């Protein structure tokens, strides 16, 4: 994975974590397109859609309406096991 894709993936997962979202919870629809996307560099913007598709393909997130929703696999990735147990 490229550095640009890594950054976008990490930023998106960090946003899920910052909002304390868990499985079946979606990012605010406007955040991805209106708040986050404009902050990206041109190389990051160039891989943005592919990165989202990759995240969906690996099962970390799934598409829902105009945003993405965290899956159980995504929860496991962003919340260490101990933290995940405390969360629920």
Per-residue pLDDT reduced to its tens digit, 19-48 = 999 999 999 989 999 999 999 999 999 999
pTM: 0.87
What is 3-87's CATH number? 1.10.10
Element (H or E) spanning 60, and its range? none
What φ, ψ does residue 70 adopt, rounded to 5°? Answer: -75, 140
Q: How confident is the model over 7-20, as pLDDT tens digits?
A: 999 999 999 999 99
Tell me the domain boundaries of the chain: 3-87
DSSP string over 22-37: -TT-BPPHHIIIIIIG
| Exposure class string for 10-48: b at 16+ Cβ within 10 A, else e | eebbebbbeeebbeeebbeeeebeeebeeebeeebeebb
């Amino acid at each position: 994975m490229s550095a640009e894709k890594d950054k976008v993936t990490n930023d998106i997962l960090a946003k899920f974590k910052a909002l304390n979202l868990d499985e079946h919870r979606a990012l605010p629809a406007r955040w991805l397109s209106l708040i986050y996307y404009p902050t990206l560099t041109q190389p990051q913007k160039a891989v943005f859609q592919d990165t989202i598709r990759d995240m969906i393909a690996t099962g970390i997130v799934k598409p829902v309406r105009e945003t993405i929703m965290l899956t159980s696999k995504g929860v496991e990735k962003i919340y260490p096991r101990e933290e995940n147990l405390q969360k629920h």
